[in-house]
């Protein structure tokens, strides 16, 4: 069965290479493996922020301990991986609130929040204003300009 094993190992290698290159990774210095892993995680999160992502998912992708991964990513980006995803989701939600007429619950679902009430609560915590008022204020500003 050595041919089957080699074929499977080759498939795993190819998938890993494809996964790491599909996202247009930034070029990192060759001697800084941690930086490469952090950039890979950052790119992965930027592409998959709408999905349910856990530290275990990221640890499996990078073959790292999830606690160590969280630590080095926070040093790299200033955010824990989960906070980075939440920050990305809120940024995308702000764009949708100002550029579409989608409901708040639709936007919450689109950007990856499982619950529209949690989305509204987290949005208000970050922006000091509800998503509806954010949209209303932006709409008023664009009419003035």
* Residue that the structure tokens 């996964």 belong to: 19
Can you read off the two tokens belonging to residue 120? Answer: 């509204």
pLDDT tens by residue, 27-73 = 545 445 667 889 999 999 999 999 999 999 999 999 899 999 999 99
Tokens of 126: 């970050």
Please give the pLDDT value at position 2.
82
Question: Residue 8's pLDDT is what?
Answer: 83
Closest-CA residue to 67 (of 58, 6, 85): 58
Backbone region of residue 44 per phi and psi (left: phi > 0; alpha: psi in -120 to 50; beta: other values): alpha
Contacts of 28 (CB under 8 A, 6+ apart): 35, 36, 39
113-140: buried (b, 16+ CB within 10 Å) or exposed (e) per residue?
Answer: beebeebbebbeeeeeeebeebbeeeee
Whether pLDDT at 21 is above 70: no
3-state secondary structure of 139: helix
pLDDT digits (tens, 9 = 90+) for 107-144: 999 999 989 999 999 999 999 999 999 999 988 777 77
pLDDT for res 30: 44
- Confidence tier at 10 by pLDDT (50, 70, 90): confident
Task: For residues 72-99, give the mean pLDDT.
Answer: 95
């Amino acid at each position: 069965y050595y041919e089957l094993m080699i074929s499977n190992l080759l498939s795993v290698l190819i998938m890993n290479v494809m996964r790491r290159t599909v996202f247009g990774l930034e070029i990192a210095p060759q001697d800084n493996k941690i930086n490469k892993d952090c950039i890979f995680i950052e790119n992965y999160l930027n592409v998959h922020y709408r999905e349910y992502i856990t530290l275990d998912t990221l640890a499996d992708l990078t073959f790292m301990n999830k606690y160590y991964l969280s630590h080095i990513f926070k040093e790299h980006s200033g955010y824990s991986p989960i906070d980075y995803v939440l920050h990305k989701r809120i940024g995308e939600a702000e764009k949708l609130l100002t550029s579409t007429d989608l409901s708040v619950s639709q936007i919450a679902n689109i950007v990856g929040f499982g619950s529209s009430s949690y989305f509204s609560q987290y949005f208000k915590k970050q922006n000091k204003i509800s998503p509806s008022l954010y949209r209303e204020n932006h709409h008023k500003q664009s009419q003035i300009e």
